[in-house]
Amino acid sequence: MWNIESLDLDAYLARIGHDRVAPSPEALRSLHRAHVLAIPFENIDVILGTHPGISLEAIQAKLVGRQRGGYCYEHALLFGAALEQLGFDVVRRVARVQPHKAGPRTHALLKVGVAGEEFLADVGFGAGQLYPTPLKDGVVVDQAGWDHRLTQDGDVWTLSKQTPEGWIPQHASNDEPVRPIDYEVYHHYVSTHPHSPFTGRPVVMRVAEGEVRRLVGNTLTTEHPNTPPTERSVPPADLPEVLASLDVVLSDEEIDRLRLV
């Protein structure tokens, strides 16, 4: 159903700088971290109107071949295919973003089984999740310096982030079956609807241990744990340098079109 055999696993592993490994919880944690550190979260092709779609072939050509980034559908489908080829059990999920508000059910993530344990693998949630989260009620995972907690209510699992204002829900998901056509529909909304957060301005996010960087529109925000974030405006002339610092390298033509946006 998910066409995982079309993925060139060796090329993907080279992209994230990781060896081929046997399935284990430790291997999942290492692969998850390597993927997030190597492949940016970004929506530039959506802004430019050149998004190639979310077939695994298109995702591989973009994120692996062109060494670009993408958003949740691209990340989740690529990572899920790699995990399945390596021998992990993978279930595709959809989550409702900001479930305590009017958030849409449009986020793609994975449930991964290995060695009798289950985890949420969430490599495409912006700059939020560096590591997989054990699927256990009340578990807290340090994600690069920010605590995240997973809680269960019936069949719904909610991921929350610890903030000065308390635990803020990030997304909620369950095991309702997901088909490729569902991801296509959600991708179409996210990449075309005028109310989507990804159609009106560039969004590029990177996470490392103790640091999160976000370019949203023309504002670059840098965060470290337990300190106020810093912001700076990015003029059009600085776009190539700032994007490159976030591991997004565009052609001159793409930069010119992005400046117009």
pLDDT at 242: 97
Q: Which pLDDT band, with edges at 50, 70 and 90, does 40 fall under?
A: very high
What does the pLDDT read at residue 103?
A: 87
**Catalytic status, residue 147:** no
Region 177-193: mean pLDDT is 96
Helix orientation angle between 25-38 and 9-16, rounded to the nearest 10 degrees: 70
- Stated pTM of the model: 0.97
Say how far apart CA 127 and CA 12 lie, in whole Å. Answer: 20
Say which of 72, 75, 148, 187 is annotated catalytic: 72
Catalytic pick among 122, 148, 171, 187 = 122
Candidate CATH numbers 3.40.50.740, 3.40.190.150, 3.40.50.300, 3.30.2140.20; the one for domain 4-259:
3.30.2140.20
Please indicate whether residue 19 is annotated as part of the active site: no
Confidence of residue 99 (pLDDT cuts 50, 70, 90): very high
pLDDT at 119: 98
Closest CA to 76 of 30, 144, 126: 126
> Does the active-site annotation cover 122?
yes
Q: For the sheet with 230-233, list strands across it.
A: 41-42, 203-208, 211-216, 219-223, 230-233
Q: Tell which residue, 6, 94, 93, has the closest CA to residue 55.
A: 6
**Which member of 51, 107, 171, 187 is catalytic?**
107
Distance CA 193, CA 99 (A): 20
Task: Determine the pLDDT at residue 102.
Answer: 83
Question: What is the arithmetic mean of pLDDT over 48-54?
Answer: 95
Beta bridge partners of 121: 110
8 A C-beta contact, residue 209 and residue 217: no
Across residues 14-21, what is the average pLDDT?
98
For residues 219-247, average pLDDT = 96
